[in-house]
Structure 1
Amino acid sequence: MTEVKPDKAASFVGHVLSRCQDDKGFAARLRRADNPATEYQSWDVLASFGIALEYDHPRLAYQAVAASIARAKVTANGSLMLGRAIAACYEDGNNSDQAKARLRRLLACDDVAELCRILRGQLSLIDSKAGQALDYQRLLKQLLAFHFDAQRVRAQWAQEFYGKADDKPDSEDEA
């Protein structure tokens, strides 16, 4: 029998979740990972996963997710998708003008650096208001894919935001 290995995003998220529970110093370093002045404190973790530190695209995506996990103090990967999470922060859900403005700001991002900068505040809002944990594995895959296929990722977020309540993806390759 062949054993299915988890993908890199799943391994990374699992590792960060596990280590943040056991090591408060580790969690503190990761909370500073999405700040350009202190991001180097997370580079040992990224390098151990084979992430190329010299390139913004993968580094910033991994740092944004790691920092969000460390700040949220979650114990497991959630199931809430980003678009649905933005809507969940407001009483009116996806009918809220503020929620729509936040989604539009994400959809207007042109590159991963801008996206991760804008996402930082949105992830903090989601952590404080949404009431459930994000699907960090899916988010990381989307951030990594944004560099190559931004339009598809934007469409996924819009679908999650405006879509019906059923959050089950039609296929595994959506992320």
Structure 2
Amino acid sequence: MEPMQPQEQQPKKAPPSREERFVAGVLKLCAENKGMAARLRRADNPATEYQSWELLATYGIDLEQERERLPFVCVAATIAKAKAECNGSMGLGRAIAACYENGNATDQAKARLRRLLACDDLSELCRILRPLLSLIGSKVGQGFDYIRLLKQLRRFPFHAQQVKAQWAQEFYGHTVHVEKEGV
């Protein structure tokens, strides 16, 4: 009898992260349900943020915890306002720079970045981000990386300096690729 040969196994693809599932769900929902998309656009305002709570609750987001709720509200409202069709690959820093690539406005772009980098807490950051993300949605359009932004916003309360450094790195266009040694 011949010994059995092990079948070659395909590397298992990691299941989508919570952020990936949320962004994909919001993109799909906005495309299929115009009423919910309109409610999400209105959720961009702190006074009407509650209009997004039904969606957030379906994703198991603790509505009582501001540091958990705000990143999801901010990203959902941004997707709805931008009428995004898919997740892109452009990070926040690069998107800010892209809004002002017409030459003379680079000082304005740097001022926007500096204001963002001066934020000390998540609620202030989301308040400053709202108009900036609207600008990015109108100028950059498709191509913005909502998943990356959501991950960064969720990490901000714990690793603010690291997140700010990533945005500055993207803005100034000096992306550093770190290779893992010994892998």
What is the TM-score when the length of structure 1 is the normalising length?
0.90
Matched residue, 2:3: none
State whether structure 2 residue 73 is matched by structure 1 residue 27: no
**Aligned to 1:147, what secondary structure does the other structure show?**
coil
Q: Structure 1 vs Structure 2: percent identity of aligned residues?
A: 63
Structure with the largest fraction of helix: 1
Which residue among 126, 147, 151 is the counterpart of 1:116? 126
Which residue among 9, 17, 21 is the counterpart of 2:19? 9
* Greater CA drift, 123-132 or 143-152: 123-132
Following the alignment from structure 2 to structure 1, what is the Cα–Cα distance between the partners of residues 107 and 45? 29
1:36 Cα deviation from its structure 2 partner: 1.6
1:22 Cα deviation from its structure 2 partner: 0.5
State whether structure 2 residue 98 is matched by structure 1 residue 65: no
Following the alignment from structure 2 to structure 1, what is the Cα–Cα distance between the partners of residues 86 and 176? 19
1:21 Cα deviation from its structure 2 partner: 0.3
Change (3 A) 1:93 1:80: farther
CA RMSD between the two structures: 2.1
State whether structure 2 residue 180 is matched by structure 1 residue 146: no
Matched residue, 1:81: 91
**Aligned to 2:158, what secondary structure does the other structure show?**
helix
What is the TM-score when the length of structure 2 is the normalising length?
0.86
Question: Where in structure 2 are the equivalents of 1:121-132 lying within 5 Å?
Answer: 121-132=131-142
Paired residues of 2:85 and 2:142 also in contact (CA < 8 A)? no
Matched residue, 2:61: 51
Paired AA for residue 140 in structure 1: L
State whether structure 2 residue 183 is matched by structure 1 residue 163: no
**Aligned to 2:46, what secondary structure does the other structure show?**
coil
**Aligned to 1:163, what secondary structure does the other structure show?**
coil
Following the alignment from structure 2 to structure 1, what is the Cα–Cα distance between the partners of residues 116 and 44? 17
Q: Which runs of 4+ in 1 moved over 6 A?
A: none
Structure 1, unmatched stretches of 5+, are none
Deviations 1:14-53 (A, max 9, x none): 0000010010001011112221211111111111111110
Change (3 A) 1:131 1:62: closer
Structure 2, unmatched stretches of 5+, are 1-8
Paired AA for residue 70 in structure 2: L
1:171 Cα deviation from its structure 2 partner: 6.7
Decide which structure has the larger Cα Rg and report it: 2
Following the alignment from structure 1 to structure 2, what is the Cα–Cα distance between the partners of residues 159 and 171? 17
Paired AA for residue 48 in structure 1: T
Deviations 1:105-143 (A, max 9, x none): 000001110000100000011111125421000000000
Aligned residue pairs total 170
